[in-house]
Chains A and B, each alone.
Chain A
């Protein structure tokens, strides 16, 4: 890229200032939250000396710990399922041709852009209808719980995994798989020993992204969870609605740290594989398109 298209003088200064303001806007609120989570004051927005008291409260709070366990369980199960289905979907779209491919592509795109509330409503009505029908037809009683949460999370995570894996596949040389086949590798062997190792970073990155999405979701989970299956974000959301307390500050910081760690890990994993420069970042940019 040439440098002459770069703005000079005032325009350049304004662009830099705008960027600085945007980064400050992104990170100052987070830093303020971290700061006050160590404050020894009942008022969430006041400094009252350093303390780790609120983090201790989090560690000893049974409902919160229980919600955390449910969140982790749901996230792990739903991630494993969506990684398998999402990777297969990505392979089908990038490496094969079939008749309803365009429809499938569009279908995969929908869960990413649909508003949370709409998807939550859809799944709530669906499960209530479905359980009703089971009861009437077979006398099977089922209720909402961890199972319904997992099903719902997989429904949106397949799409995210497939986008990340597709980005990886698109940047990969198809000739390598063909070479393996020419050398009498079976389809499975060419997949196992050529394709899979090459897309592994994309699969891992997609998986970490799915884990993050599952651990973050509030709206959909709230609609499809039953008594005794409250996840951490749903529980925290309930606490915030009742009123802010320093305990919420500390829980928030822990959640935030965990999600930042997962995103960073996902970027590093995709990067470490020596893909094209900025490939990892590109795959995330692709998700946003």
Chain B
């Protein structure tokens, strides 16, 4: 490049000259710069990286290892003799009924949330931006406020002689006894996880170009057809994300069944906790946790395969 007395125009990039003589050196220089940048990025990620490996990945691996261990006579755990005893216990009728009940309840929770949340998310996404943000904040508040306390509120509402019971009584339907039944747990789960369904659905629908739905209508599609063929397929990432975010925590729920459920409604989450805090069968508890983890990972992979988020 020839030296110039005038400063280069803004769109000239001195680091990337087209001149063939300097290009080799430039490429080498750029490679080195790239390497340095990569190192800087890695160093910056390192503290969180190391932390999560130490306090997330290592514990995760230990749980899987534990699930193959043996419980000794004193309630301790022997890591020598590896076996599948804990997994064999999964086919025990009592355990199986707990698993089936948990999956079933989590499924119903997910479907109820999906049916209620889809039209709601659509409603939110089609509001004017100013109104939409206010409406969203009021979804955000229950999403982030204390889960334990929100569940406790239903204990007060559903208790015998409580507000719900008196309401149905005064309406001539008789006193309801919902507390400590599976229905109470279902209400609690829907209440707890509904925002987890609404927000991803909203995010997916909000991104859709509504002109496409309009175009379908212009081409004489019925409202059902334009929903089924246009809106629903385009919002699928939101449907899947919301379903995972509702199903997975419902399956592992502990607080909700503990507060609203009765002795007859033991679910997977509570059952796992029991293995650790009272039954002292750690290998079996670890095996149950591993199953839960595999379910979660399976769904997550499905989600990424469907292109839900760029990873």
Contact = CB atoms under 8 A, between A and B. Distances in A.
Given A33-B152, A259-B144, A115 B251 contact: yes
Contact of B52 (A91, A107, A129): A107
B311 A122 contact: no
Contacts of A86: 48
B129 interface: yes
Nearest to B268: A117
B156 A244 contact: yes
Interface string A14-56: 1110110011011101101100100000011110000000000
Contact of A105 (B62, B122, B311): B311
Interface of B: 34, 37-42, 44-45, 47-49, 51-53, 55-60, 62-63, 66, 116-117, 119-120, 122-124, 126, 129, 132-133, 135-150, 152-157, 159, 161-163, 191, 194-196, 198-200, 202-203, 210-211, 213-214, 217, 223, 241, 244-245, 248-249, 251-255, 258-259, 269, 272-273, 276, 282, 285-286, 289, 292-293, 296, 300, 308-309, 311
A176 interface: no
A281 B133 contact: yes
A107 B296 contact: no
A5 B56 contact: no
A262 B144 CA distance: 9
Given A96-B41, A115-B252, A281-B136, A233 B146 contact: yes
Nearest to B116: A22
8 contacts: A19-B119, A91-B44, A95-B41, A121-B63, A126-B58, A219-B254, A256-B149, A284-B144
Nearest to A6: B126
B199 A151 contact: no
Nearest to A46: B161
Contacts of A129: 62
Nearest to B58: A126
B154 A29 contact: yes
Given A15-B123, A97-B38, A267-B140, A118 B245 contact: no
A212 B145 CA distance: 8
Given A107-B52, A219-B255, A89 B159 contact: no
Interface residues of A, number: 103
Contact of A121 (B44, B58, B276): B276
A278 B289 CA distance: 38
A97 B37 contact: yes
A263 B143 CA distance: 9
Q: Which of A44, A45, A240 counts the most chain B CB atoms within 10 A?
A: A45
A2 to B, nearest CB: 7
Contact of A18 (B55, B116, B211, B276): B116
A1 B255 CA distance: 42
B48 A121 contact: no
B148 A117 contact: no
A152 B163 CA distance: 38
A102 B63 CA distance: 24
A1 B210 contact: yes
Contacts of A16: 123
B311 A98 contact: no
A76 interface: no
B284 to A, nearest CB: 11
Interface string A90-108: 0111011111111011111
Contacts of B292: 115, 117-118
A260 B150 CA distance: 12
